[in-house]
Amino acid sequence: MLEEKIKQLKEETIKKISEVANLEQLRELEIYFLGRKGELTKILRTLGDLSIEERAKAGDLANKIKNELTLEIQKARQNLGEKTDGSSEKEWIDVTAVKEKEEFGHLHPISIVQYELEDIFTSMGFMVLDGPELESDYYNFEALNIPSWHPARDMQDTFYVEGENLLMRTQTSSMQVRAMEKYGAPLRVVVPGRCFRNEATDVRHEHTFYQLEGFMVGKDISVANLKAVLEVVAKKLYGDDTKVKLRPKFYPFVEPGINGEVTCFLCKGKGCRVCKNTGWLEIFGAGLIHPNVLKFGKIDSKKWSGFAFGFGLTRLAMLKYEIDDVRLLCGGDLRFLKQF
């Protein structure tokens, strides 16, 4: 008798489906017959009164019919959708349809430059490390040979957390001593990341910017090793005819300190607007790691030496894409970002 009821329900539903005029009616029909409080569910609730055997049989039949009806409704929905193509009634979504994969978003220009450098350095055996952006005064300044009285701090004002001795790191160099403590010597590391300074913003200054710090600690490391590594990097970035020029410059955590320039990749050294007609672009600061910094990192400066360097990722991205306002990079303006 129950089987009869189920079959009867099927006939009735199929007939009604054929009479349906729009998607709304079809949805009502679906709920009426197949919904959680629908007719089929009502019948299935009475299964409890049957013997196990009968229950299994009727249950199978009910499921079979439920599947058949679901299919019928799907078909009807498709037909209705097709009839009213383009109208608001076409709401049916075929979840099984195969669609070509869509690309959502893309890399930010700074990420492009960062990954490019990471690839170059990992190919030379450097580890890529991450570090905290909220950093202690110790790792950001003290351990880099910049005690609280040192005038170099004046050039790197930043945002401090009151009473905590914490600050937003001014440089990715803050990872030097952290990495030395953790891994000891020998060591090859690059640290890309976000840095912060208390700047009045204009086309060339931004309170948030990106750097890539790198350093190497080993036996008998000298400026020659530093130059060799950075020459490889410059050539991979800008082509085989790129030259590197090193000039002395003061940084408290290196001795000697070096200002690194490379042949301008836009004019190939002839002189242009971007390189201010010098033919050279200043793209990194570097030097041999100060023995005090090695000491802070618990590395014996009599046995080991090293070099360190820092690239401005923000600056590299601006050069690469000829971006003339640094504020565009973190401004979140899609008209700008969609160009990359």
| Count of residues that bind Zn ion according to CB under 5 A | 5
**Of the two residues 226 and 281, which places its CB atom closer to Zn ion in the complex?**
281
Binding to Zn ion, residues 275-334 (CB under 5 A)? 275
Kindly tell me which residue out of 212, 264, 313, 329 binds Zn ion, with binding defined by CB under 5 A: 264
**Of the two residues 214 and 269, which places its CB atom closer to Zn ion in the complex?**
269
Kindly tell me which residue out of 61, 129, 246, 266 binds Zn ion, with binding defined by CB under 5 A: 266
Range in contact with Zn ion (rule: CB under 5 A) among 21-29, 73-81, 115-123, 257-265: 257-265
Asked if residue 89 belongs to a known ligand binding site, the reply is no
**Of the two residues 44 and 275, which places its CB atom closer to Zn ion in the complex?**
275
**Of the two residues 58 and 319, which places its CB atom closer to Zn ion in the complex?**
319
**Of the two residues 11 and 322, which places its CB atom closer to Zn ion in the complex?**
322
Position 128 contacts Zn ion (CB under 5 A): no
Compute the distance between CA of residue 171 and CA of residue 279 in angstroms, rounded to an integer.
28
Range in contact with Zn ion (rule: CB under 5 A) among 162-170, 187-195, 240-248, 256-264: 256-264
Q: How far is the CB of 282 from Zn ion (least distance, A)?
A: 12
Q: How far is the CB of 272 from Zn ion (least distance, A)?
A: 3
Kindly tell me which residue out of 34, 166, 267, 330 binds Zn ion, with binding defined by CB under 5 A: 267
Catalogue the E-assigned strands of 241-300: 244-248, 254-263, 280-289
- Return binding residues for Mg(2+): 255
